[in-house]
Homo-oligomer: A and B are copies of this chain.
Amino acid sequence: MFNANFSPRFYETDAFGHVNNTVVTGWFETAREPIFRIFTPGMDIKKLSIILARIEVDFVAQIYYGSDVSVKTWIEKIGNSSFNVLHEAWQNGAVVARGTAVQVYFDFSTQTSGRVPDEYRSELEKHRAL
């Protein structure tokens, strides 16, 4: 599991007085950054070999300004050329949002998606959801 903490920023609120829904997508992307690093050995993010194919987010409860949000992230499923990432955002002891991201392995040399190499699979396995 990966963990990332976010203090909601004032500009992330909206006129309803809570954190705007669109902000969660950005937090979840940020929570996947340790996964990006697995796939960019030389640390040059422009050479990242995974592409985001799909996201799903369930907005479970209002997210408030003034309390930290903790995003827990797991690898849920590793397929042939893709893998699913699971996110849970917690605030004040309760889940406030849940999401899935489908990442596809992209081989830049052939410009097509391809099988996730074994070296990355074993790293991903370490962060499996139970």
Contacts and interface: CB of A to CB of B under 8 A. Distances in A.
A55 B54 contact: no
Most central of A20, A30, A48 by chain B CB within 10 Å:
A20
A129 B54 CA distance: 22
A2 interface: no
A65 B16 CA distance: 12
A92 interface: no
How many copies of the polypeptide does the oligomer hold?
Answer: 4
A13 interface: yes
A15 B66 contact: no
Contact of A10 (B17, B29, B65): B29
Contacts of A52: 21, 59
Interface of A: 7, 9-11, 13-18, 20-23, 25-26, 29-30, 33, 36, 43, 45-46, 48, 51-59, 65-66
